[in-house]
Amino acid sequence: MPTEKHLISQENPFLGLTVLLVDNVNDTQSTIANMLTAMGFKNIVLAANGASALNILFQQEINLILTAPQLPKNDSMQLLKQAKVSPKTAKIPFVIVAETINQEQVLEAIKHGVSEYIIKPFSEKQLVNQLTKAIFDKHTSANKKLSSLTKKHSQIATKKSSQQPLQILVVDDVIDNIKIISEILRKEYKVKAATSGEKALQICDIDPQPDLILLDIMMPVMDGMEVCRRLKSNPKTQHIAVIFLSALDQTKHIVQGLELGAVDYITKPIDPPLVEARVRTHGKIVESNKLMRNQIDIMQENARLKEAFELIKQKGYHTGSSSVRKRI
């Protein structure tokens, strides 16, 4: 478990910690492992199924369990229940990383003591925040935790009721194309622009990051394919949705782009209704992902609030009982 030294580390709270990463999909396992390495975890122990994960938990010191929901040989829920039963592993923070939200599954995971339930896609910053809560939240006193959770609950509710417009980045070396697309989108979305791949990568690397990128394939120096490749290989930016802008005769490039991780493409010359429709479709997916995270945050914070209340009630009861015995 985290030591006091880990708790007070201001530079990087994850230094020196060992995480058990459980996933049977190699690409997903590799991607998350790279993110964890970038975050500073000392050791990343890999397991492809629940049975192997359970064996590892009893063989070496683990500070965090990070698992996919569906696993061969014991799924994540079975692994969670088994981990929470044993005194040796019960206090290890347990985080589930899922593709989609299943409310029944989330509620069951919360019931059995899951620390965090994370929905893909997520940025490295989001992962840092979630894992920080999972690892260090239990070291907070009940009263302080209750105050913090109440404030957090209010922030989540406020965030839900005041959603900001999506951030769209248009990348094209032809300024006229940027002007046309910006004019189409700026009434509904917050639009930024870049005339080179290098500038686009710089914009994506800082907050607030774009939610969606309209990316021209054919650009000098760094083309759209290379920009997409770099975005999807960087843990900080791989969650950003990419729609390619392409000429009708660039079918081969479009296929390559989709294989790299782009979600769609729009052909040139620009057709305003088509641009609006494609952006609206994928914008709804982005918004849906944000809403799912909000719903899970609320469910988890409600569970933590209840736990904090119970702790305070128990402490008050024991204190009161002690004082009564003294008077008698």
Task: Answer yes or no: do 190 and 252 share one domain.
Answer: yes
- DSSP 3-state percent helix, strand, coil across the chain (nearest 5): 55, 15, 30
Q: What is the pLDDT of residue 307?
A: 58
Task: Answer yes or no: do 227 and 271 share one domain.
Answer: yes
Task: Answer yes or no: do 275 and 297 share one domain.
Answer: no
| Closest to 95 (Cα-Cα) out of 19, 146, 26, 150 | 19
How many domains does the chain fold into?
A: 2
Contact (CB, 8 A) for 173 and 196? yes
DSSP 208: S
Q: Is the pLDDT of residue 201 over 80?
A: yes
Task: Answer yes or no: do 10 and 147 share one domain.
Answer: yes
User: What are the residues whose beta carbons fall under 8 Å from the beta carbon of 134, sequence distance 6 or more?
Assistant: 64, 93, 94, 95, 115, 116
Task: Answer yes or no: do 210 and 317 share one domain.
Answer: no
User: What are the residues whose beta carbons fall under 8 Å from the beta carbon of 204, sequence distance 6 or more?
Assistant: 169, 210, 213, 231, 236, 237, 240
Q: Please confirm whether the linkage preceding 208 is cis (ω < 30° from 0).
A: yes
Q: What is the pTM of this model?
A: 0.69
Residue 294: count of CB within 10 angstroms of its CB: 15
Q: Is the pLDDT of residue 262 over 80?
A: yes
Task: Answer yes or no: do 139 and 250 share one domain.
Answer: no
Task: Answer yes or no: do 130 and 201 share one domain.
Answer: no
Q: In what side-by-side order are the strands of the sheet with 264-268?
A: 190-194, 167-171, 212-216, 241-247, 264-268
Task: Answer yes or no: do 75 and 9 share one domain.
Answer: yes
* Residues 311-323 pLDDT 10s: 555 655 454 544 4
Task: Answer yes or no: do 193 and 229 share one domain.
Answer: yes
Contact (CB, 8 A) for 48 and 72? yes
Q: What number is the average pLDDT over the span 59-75?
A: 88
Two tokens, residue 67: 């698992």
The band of 145, judged by pLDDT with boundaries at 50, 70 and 90, is very low
Task: Answer yes or no: do 69 and 94 share one domain.
Answer: yes
Helix (H) or strand (E) holding 133: helix 124-136
Q: Is the pLDDT of residue 192 over 90?
A: yes
Q: Which of 212-226, 258-272, 298-312 has the lowest average pLDDT?
A: 298-312
Task: Answer yes or no: do 144 and 45 share one domain.
Answer: yes
User: What are the residues whose beta carbons fall under 8 Å from the beta carbon of 90, sequence distance 6 or more?
Assistant: 83, 84, 113
Q: What is the pLDDT of residue 308?
A: 54
Task: Answer yes or no: do 120 and 267 share one domain.
Answer: no
Tell me, what amino acid is at 114? V
Helix 103-111 and helix 272-327: axis angle, to 10°?
A: 20
| Closest to 72 (Cα-Cα) out of 24, 124, 28, 119 | 24
Q: What is the pLDDT of residue 304?
A: 60
Domain range spanning residue 70?
4-159+289-327
Q: Is the pLDDT of residue 71 over 50?
A: yes
Q: Is the pLDDT of residue 113 over 90?
A: no
Q: What is the pLDDT of residue 303?
A: 63
Q: What number is the average pLDDT over the span 107-126?
A: 85
Tell me how many degrees the CA angle 148-120-260 measures, rounded to the nearest 5.
145
The band of 5, judged by pLDDT with boundaries at 50, 70 and 90, is very low
Q: Domain boundary residue among 283, 299, 316?
A: 283
Q: Domain boundary residue among 250, 267, 283?
A: 283
Q: What is the CATH number of the domain that holds 267?
A: 3.40.50.2300
